[in-house]
Chain A
Amino acid sequence: MAERIIYLDNAATSFPKPEIVHETVRDFYSQNGVNPGRTGCDLAINAEQMIHETRKQFSAFFNRSLIESGKEKDPNRLVFTMNATMSLNLIINGMIGPGDHVVTSMLEHNSVIRPVNHKVREGAEATYVVPDAEGYLDPEDIRKAIKRNTRLVIINHASNVTGVVQDLNSIGAICREEGVPFAVDTAQSAGVLPIDMTECHIDFLSFTGHKGLFGPTGTGGICVADDAEIRGTIYGGTGVRSAVPYHLEEYPYRLEAGTQNLAGIAGLNAGLTWVENKGLNTIYAHEMSLFEILQNGLSDIPGVTLWGTQNLDRRVATLSMTVNHYDASDVGTILDVDYGIQTRTGLHCAPLIHQHLGSVPRGTVRFSVGPFNTVEQIRTAIRAVAEIASDRP
C-alpha cells in the first residue's frame, strides 16, 4: 500500500517512519516490555534506564544553548504523555483556574482552544490574539493582551493549517518581561525547526512524538523549565512511595501517572536519534525545496486559491488550498481515489484560523511535505490538482 500512495499529510502524522523506528518498536516486546522501576528485576531497571535516557535526550534537544554553556537541565522535568493534546491539557489545567486569564491566538488547534474554552466555562477569561492577514502574530499584540490576572500565554509555534511560524524569541521575551509563564505547542515544529527553551524563555514546551520526531502515535510530552511551576492534575500510581496518600509533587511524577507507553518511548528515542543524525537543517532544506515547487506549481493553476502566507521564510512545509467550484473534501477524495495522493481536508481541528482566513465552513485541502517525499511526487500532485481544476463538476 505505502508504495502506491503519495503521502502528503505529514502534518497529521509522519509517514513512513524511519526503518530504525519500525525495528525498535517491532522488536521491543520480544526483548523488553517490563514495567520500569528503580528497584526490582534487571529488566525493570533496563526499562527505567531507557526512559531516563530518553528524558535526557529530549531535555538536551530542547535546551541546546543551556547544555552547550555547560549547565544542566533536569531530565526529570521532561515528562511523557500520550500525545500533544494530553500535554496541552496538563499545561492548561495546571496553570489556569477560575478568575485567571489566558492569552492565546486564533491559530491554535482544538487541543488548546477546547481546554481553554472549558476553563472559561469554569470562570476563567481568555483572549484570542488575532494574527495579520498572512497569519503572523505581532508579539506586541500579545503584550497588549496581558492583564494583571494573566497566568499563561500559550501559542502554537507553527500552524497546522497554513504553516506560518511565530516569533517565539520575541513573544517569550515579552512574557518574561511581563512575568507571565509562556507555553508553546510545538506539534508542527518539534523535529522540524530548532527550538531552544532558554533562548525563547519557554516555561512549558508541549510536543507530540508522531509527527516531526518520527516516533509512534501514543507518545508526546512536556519539557518543563527548571524554574517553572505548575499544578499536577493527573493522579495515580507512580511505582515509588506507594504508601503516600497523595500524588507525588516531584518530577516527573507531578505530571505523570501509571505505566508509560514503553514501546512508544523506545520508538520515540529512535525517531529523535534519526532526526539528529540526519540533521534538522538537512530535513528542513529538503522539505522546503519540495514545498517551493509545490507552492509555485499550485499557484499557477487557474481556479486554485492558496490560503495564508506564501512566504518561504518563517514557515514549515504545509499549505492550504481550495479549487473553485469544488468542496475541499471532494478535492481530497478525488486526489485520494484517482491519484493515490493523501491530503487532509476540512478545518483541521483549527476552526478559528479558518474563520480568520475566510475558508469556513468547509475548510481547505492541506498538503504537508515530509522528508520521504520526492520531486516526482510533488510534480504528480501538481498535475493532479491541475486536472481536477480543469475538469469542473
Chain B
Amino acid sequence: MKIGDKSIDFDKDGFMVNPGLWDEQIARAIAGDEGIEEMTEQHWAIVNFIRNYWLEHDLAPAVRLICSDVGVGVRQIYKLFTSGPARGACRVAGLPKPDGCV
C-alpha cells in the first residue's frame, strides 16, 4: 500500500511488516482502516505511549500500563480503538503483531 511517498507492507492481520517505516501519516492511514475518522488527542496519547514503549522495550506494553500512564480506562481504549488495545491501538502505533496467547 502506498502511503505518502512510502510503500508499506502489512501482514495478514494488518500489522506493519516493517515497523521502522512508521510515521504519523501512516498512523492516520491505519486508523482510517480501523474506522477512526479523526485521531483525537487521546488517540495520539495512547499511540505515542505504545510506540515509545515498544521502541524502548521491544515489546508492546501491558494494557494496565497504558491505562495508568496515559490516564485512560480500559473501556475507553475500546471505545477509541474498537479492535482493542492489542489489535487496534498497537496496529495504529505501527507495532508488529503483539505476541499473545490465542
Report A's interface with B, CB cutoff 8 A: 327, 329-330, 333-334, 336-338, 344-349, 361-363, 391, 393
**How far, in angstroms, from A349 to B84 measured CA to CA in the complex?**
22
Main secondary structure of the interface of B (DSSP, over half): helix
Residue among A329, A347, A391 with the most chain B CB within 10 A?
A: A329
**7 nearest interchain CB pairs?**
A337-B74, A346-B102, A346-B101, A330-B84, A337-B64, A333-B63, A393-B78
Judged by a CB distance under 8 angstroms, whether B85 is at the interface is yes
Contact of A338 among B73, B84, B101, B102 (CB under 8 A): B73
The answer to whether A362 and B102 have CB atoms under 8 Å apart is: yes
Given contacts A329-B102, A344-B101, A362-B102, whether A338 and B86 have CB atoms under 8 Å apart is no
A-B contact count (CB 8 A): 40
Instruction: Encode B47-78 as 1/0 by CB contact (under 8 A) with A.
Output: 00000000000000001100100000111001
Among residues of B, the one whose C-beta sits closest to the C-beta of A344 is B101
Q: How far is the CB of A346 from chain B (nearest CB, A)?
A: 4
- In the complex the two chains form, is B64's CB within 8 Å of A336's CB? yes
Q: Which of the residues B74, B79, B82, B102 comes within 8 Å of A333, measured between beta carbons?
A: B74
CA distance A393 to B77 in the complex (A): 11
Asked if B4 is an interface residue, CB under 8 A from chain A, the answer is: no
Instruction: Report, as a range, how many residues of chain B touch the other chain.
Output: 10 to 19
A393 adjacent to B82 (CB under 8 Å): yes
B97 to chain A, nearest CB (A): 13
Most buried by A among B73, B84, B86, B101: B101
- If A336-B63, A337-B63 touch, does A330 touch B100 (CB 8 Å cutoff)? no
Q: Determine the distance from Cα of A347 to Cα of B102 in the docked complex, in whole angstroms.
A: 5
Determine if A334 and B101 form an interchain contact, defined as CB atoms under 8 angstroms apart. Answer: no
The answer for the CA separation of A330 and B75 in the assembled complex, in Å, is: 10
| Bound: A333/B75 CA distance, A | 10
Q: Is there an interface contact between A338 and B100, defined as CB atoms closer than 8 Å?
A: no
When chains A and B are docked, how far (Å) is the Cα of A345 from the Cα of B63? 15
Q: Which residue, of B63, B67, B84, B102, has the highest number of chain A Cβ atoms within 10 A? A: B102
Give the complex CA separation of A393 and B88 in angstroms.
14
B78 touches A330 (CB 8 A): yes
- Docked pose: A347 CA to B85 CA in angstroms: 19
Shortest beta-carbon distance from A227 to chain B in Å: 39
Docked CA distance A361–B12 (Å): 15
| Residues on B with beta carbons closer than 8 Å to the beta carbon of A349 | 101
Complex formed: what's the CA distance from A336 to B64 in Å?
A: 8
- Give the residue name and chain of the A residue nearest to B85 (CB): A333
